[in-house]
Amino acid sequence: MPHRKSLGLVWRRIPQRYRLMGTKCFTCGSHFFPPRPWCPKCRRKGKIEKHKMKGRGKIHSYTIVNVPQQGFDLEVPYILAIIELLEGPKLTAEITNTEPEHVSIGMPVKMVFRKISEDGDSGIIHYGYKFEPELKE
Amino acid sequence: MSVGIVGYGAYVPRYRIKVEEIAAIWGKNPEDYKKGLKVAEKSVPGVDEDAATIAVQCARNALDMTGIDPQNIGAVYVGSESHPYAVKPTGTIVAEAINATPELTSADYEFACKAGTAAMQVCMALVKSDMIEYGLAVGADTSQGRPGDALEYTAAAGGAAFLIGKDPLVEIEHTCSFTTDTPDFWRREGQEYPRHGARFTGEPAYFRHVISATKLLLDKTGTSINDYDFVVFHQPNGKFPLKAGKRLGIPPEKMLPGLLVNKIGNTYSGATPLGLAAILDQAEKGDRILATSFGSGAGSDSFALKVLKKIENPHPVKKYIENKKYLNYGEYVKHRRKIKM
């Protein structure tokens, strides 16, 4: 049975999917996620290194998905948001552990490790980042 | 140099189902189960959660309170009876998610509900023998009961992780185990749900092993129940641990802080570790704790622990227990993927 997604591609993205590994330009201080291999501002003067994002940010914008793509039927309705990380980069991720009525723009969120999808019953399980509202201690 | 817990983290999923909701489906009287099992509700994982995601959350919470560089972790062991893969370790997923790879050893453990405490013993031995600096032991489960079976009222989800190292917050003064071949509960390869020996899970299984391991620990350490401020036993229901405690002369007030089963159900490999984490959340410097797990099949690991330092910045278990959303039975079967699509 063919794999739905290339194993090599999934494996290469583990550092960014599991622990938000991006890059940082130590010349200008810009952060990049997904990781960029070079800095578009500093170009050849840029000094790019791997950098793990803290996993905290706020909701920049969001939408509610009622008609899911294949494999996401159990989660409907789910919240898909653009998250602005503390470090600056914006990324698209699902908001989990809450309901659509509790979500708002500007809400502080925290990265959590969740199951994203599965290649059927016998294929590999894709894990990665989602975000949840910050829990009060 | 003493060895013990340098950091710990727990996690319980947000969803709950009440005993009444399950009993109504099967035409049973909920009061019989609430009285018989001493369980009011149980935790249910989210549709995007499994034993690996729970283990990662516990591990991250444990690391959060320590400031330890995960690259110094030399072993990651995850104990569970619901590992997401039959072949492919959960431990590597956890190690990668917390940035502990690649210089470490890892393996998954299975011993029904005591796989997490078995992982603690191995980490302790590796640290004590100077093979590793820190070891991470996790007990995490998303356990399943056959629909309609008595287990369905208690089989729950949750976990806890312990970072084991030298110069600890909580010293593990001693550990010992009591193990026999006792077929009280099992799941055959390829089977979705476990089977059990009903009443046979009591006397020859739970009570014999928990009581024997605890007595063995007291014997070996030359201590008595009076020397301990808190006691936690494996908690498949609310009745068994208190009954075992009564036989050992343990006052219930020493057990209640670690008794979570009435609010979250039996979290299997997570149960004793979660109870211990809840105790540590409120323990003070100098307190002594006795912990005995139980895994069907069967065995018990017993631990004598002493709090050496003030415990600061934990993610309290209470925070997760109180954050809850109730599901009806239909939503529950969707969460547990019991609907064939």
Q: What is the mean pLDDT of chain B?
A: 97
Domain count, chain B: 2
**CB–CB of A127 and B49 under 8 A?**
no
Four-residue CA torsion sign, B75, B11, B66, B283: negative
Q: What is the pLDDT of residue A70?
A: 85
B131 touches A at CB < 8 Å: no
**Domain co-membership, B320 together with B274:** no
Is A46 domain-assigned?
no
| Alpha helix positions (H), B65-114 | 90-97
Query: Domain containing A69 — which CATH number?
Result: 2.40.50
DSSP conformation class of B207 = I
**Domain co-membership, B92 together with B162:** yes
Q: Encoding tokens for residue A20?
A: 């938000």
CA distance B144 to B68: 35
Is A108 domain-assigned?
yes
B89 touches A at CB < 8 Å: no
**Domain co-membership, B8 together with B153:** yes
Residue numbers in B near A96 (CB within 8 A): 46, 48
**Domain co-membership, B159 together with B178:** no
Is A27 domain-assigned?
no
**Domain co-membership, B50 together with B128:** yes
Is A17 domain-assigned?
no
Domain count, chain A: 1
**CB–CB of B334 and A74 under 8 A?**
yes
Is B341 domain-assigned?
no
Query: Domain containing B123 — which CATH number?
Result: 3.40.47.10
Is A7 domain-assigned?
no
Of A2-11, A74-83, B110-119, B275-284, the range with the lowest mean pLDDT is A2-11
ipTM here: 0.95
CA distance B152 to B133: 41
Is B340 domain-assigned?
no
List the 88-107 stretch of A: residues with Cβ below 8 A of B.
Answer: 94, 96-97, 99
Model pLDDT for residues B170-210, shown as the tens digit of each residue: 999 999 999 999 999 999 999 999 999 989 999 999 999 99
**CB–CB of B48 and A14 under 8 A?**
no
What is the extent of the structural domain holding B254? Answer: 171-307
**Domain co-membership, B102 together with B142:** yes
Q: b/e map of A18-38 (b: 16 or more CB within 10 Å)?
A: bbbbbbbbeeeebbbbebbee
Give the closest-approach CA distance of B243 to chain A in angstroms: 33
Give the closest-approach CA distance of B250 to chain A in angstroms: 32
Task: Tokens 């739905």: give the residue.
Answer: A4
Give me the catalytic one of B83, B196, B209, B234.
B234
**Domain co-membership, B175 together with B145:** no
**Domain co-membership, B110 together with B175:** no
- Coil/strand/helix, residue B157: strand
**Domain co-membership, B21 together with B8:** yes
**Cα→Cα distances B318→A111, B70, B277, Å:** 21, 26, 10
| Alpha helix positions (H), chain A | 7-12, 14-19
Give me the catalytic one of B21, B41, B49, B113.
B113
**Domain co-membership, B208 together with B280:** yes
**CB–CB of B53 and A113 under 8 A?**
yes
Q: Encoding tokens for residue A40?
A: 């578009």
**Domain co-membership, B181 together with B123:** no
Confidence of residue A3 (pLDDT cuts 50, 70, 90): low
What is the extent of the structural domain holding A106? Answer: 55-137
**Domain co-membership, B95 together with B205:** no
Is A18 domain-assigned?
no
Q: What is the pLDDT of residue A1?
A: 45
Is A97 domain-assigned?
yes
Model pLDDT for residues A61-104, shown as the tens digit of each residue: 999 999 998 889 899 999 999 999 999 999 999 999 999 999 99
Is B160 domain-assigned?
yes
DSSP E strand stretches across chain B? 3-11, 15-18, 41-44, 73-79, 105-109, 134-142, 157-166, 170-182, 185-186, 195-196, 230-233, 288-292, 297-307, 325-326
Q: What is the pLDDT of residue A4?
A: 64
Cis upstream peptide for A35 (omega within 30°): no
**Cα→Cα distances B208→A7, B72, B226, B308, B337, Å:** 48, 39, 22, 32, 35
CA distance A76 to B300: 42
Model pLDDT for residues B47-82, shown as the tens digit of each residue: 999 999 999 999 999 999 999 999 999 999 999 999
**CB–CB of A137 and B319 under 8 A?**
yes
Cis upstream peptide for B70 (omega within 30°): no
Model pLDDT for residues A8-42, shown as the tens digit of each residue: 999 999 999 999 999 999 999 999 999 999 999 99
Is B296 domain-assigned?
yes
Q: Within 13 A of A8's CA, how many CA atoms are on the CB side?
A: 0
